[in-house]
Each structure stands twice: as C-alpha cells, then as structure tokens.
Homo-oligomer: A and B are copies of this chain.
Amino acid sequence: MIPSLEQTKRRRGSGVATVYDTLKREILELRLRPGSPIDETNLTERFGMSRTPIREALIKLAGEGLVLALPNRSTIVAPIDLLDLPQFFDALTLMYRVTTRLAAANHTAEDLLTIRELQQGYAEAVAARDISDMIEVNRDFHSAIAAAGRNHYYCDMFDRLLDEGRRLLRFYYSSFNDDLPALFLDEHEEMVRAIEARDVAASDRIAKQHADQIVRQIQAYITSDRRENGDMTL
C-alpha cells in the first residue's frame, strides 16, 4: 500500500457529496470539456469508492443539466449550444432585474452586510487579477442579492442560470481588457446603493444596465470569431 493513497474512513453519506461537488466545480470551470464523456469506472478508481455513490452524483448533476445521460452509453458533460445564447441572456436579464428589485424591497441589515462582503471580495479578486475568483465571487454576489429578495423560487432558478453562466464567463473573461472588471465593480457599487436605499425603480434600471453590459461584451466576443474558439466543442 502506498501511504499517500490510504483512505481515512469517510463519513457515511459523504461519498456522493464529494463526487458531486468535485465534478460540478470541474464542469463549471471548464476543466471538463463540454461534450466529453464521463466514465463511471474511471471515477471509481479516482475517488476510491464503488460505482454506486458516483452514479448517484451523476444523476444529481444530470438533474441540473450539467451532465447529459445517454442511455446505455456513457454520460457526457453537457454541451454548450451557442444558439441558446440569446435565450440565456434574455432569462438572465430578467432574473437580474427581478432579484435586484426584490432585494431592494425586502433586504435586511444582515443581507446587506453579506452583499457588501462579497463585493469586497470581488474587488480583491479584480485587484489580484484572479479570474477564477472573479467569476465565482461575482456569482455569489448576485446569488446573495437574490437571497435577500426572500423568494426561494427565484433563488433556485437564478442559481441555476448563474451556474450555467459560469461556463460562458470562462470564455467571456478571457476577452477582457483590464478596465472592464473595474467597470463592473462600479456597477455593482451602484447596485448595492440602490438596494440599500430601497429604491426599487433604480435597482431595476441598474440591473438591466448591468445585464445589457454583460450581454454586449459576450456577444462582441463571439462575433469577433477568434481562432481560439475552434478547439472547443460548442
């Protein structure tokens, strides 16, 4: 036995969670390429557990649309269809607006504190030029705003959209010149102020403006047909 591979006994039930979290992160960070096959037997060796918990994690991922289960064939990482982009942007914009409005109306003091902390974290990620952190904190920032809106239906929908979006942002951020994340920082600041002031109309306006900004950037990136897109299964 190789000591470094020895497994300390796992807590009962932690198996699925481990596989689920790990795979989800790898999918959202594009470390697992869209369309690439996922072999249960391989994961068996990698995670050092039987196929059952791995299978259950994959089923959960399939339920969220992050993975596609082909009957009697290996499941694959959900492909990204560029034709879906306009629809995605439409839904994202709407959810930005709705959640920000509700946050302005319903937030508590603690909510605002959490939101401000996350925005601080985003500022630090921008300063450190840490793309991974930027994308993840940005997601958490908007998710926290949704949570402050106190409607778990919107929260669930929005979180799903934001996750889907993380894969897109992976492309997106690579097209940035350095001043754009700073621009987002300003828009986020505006957004927080509007929420704090409980100004629903302003929150809505800024959310829409923020969404449009993002949409414009990504679409500009896509229509610029960079060569680097070639190797990605889209």
How many protomers of this protein does the assembly include? Answer: 2
Interface segment, A134-142, A151-159, A179-187? A151-159
A196 within 8 A of B: no
Question: Which residues of the other chain, B, contact A13 by a CB distance below 8 angstroms?
Answer: 71-72
| Interface residue SS majority, chain A | helix
A94 within 8 A of B: yes
A98 within 8 A of B: yes
| CA gap between A87 and B64 in the complex, in Å | 22
Task: Categorize the interface residue count of chain A.
Answer: 20 to 34
- Closest residue to A90 on the B side, CB-wise? B151
A60 within 8 A of B: yes
A150 within 8 A of B: yes
| CA gap between A52 and B52 in the complex, in Å | 8
Binding site for B on A (CB under 8 A): 12-13, 52, 55-56, 59-60, 63-65, 71-72, 84, 87-88, 90-91, 94, 98, 150-154, 156-157, 161
Q: Knowing that A60-B63, A87-B151 are A-B contacts, what are 18 other residue pairs whose CB atoms are under 8 Å apart, sorted by A's residue number? A: A12-B72, A13-B71, A13-B72, A52-B52, A55-B56, A56-B56, A56-B59, A59-B59, A65-B156, A87-B150, A87-B152, A87-B154, A90-B153, A91-B153, A91-B154, A91-B157, A94-B94, A94-B98
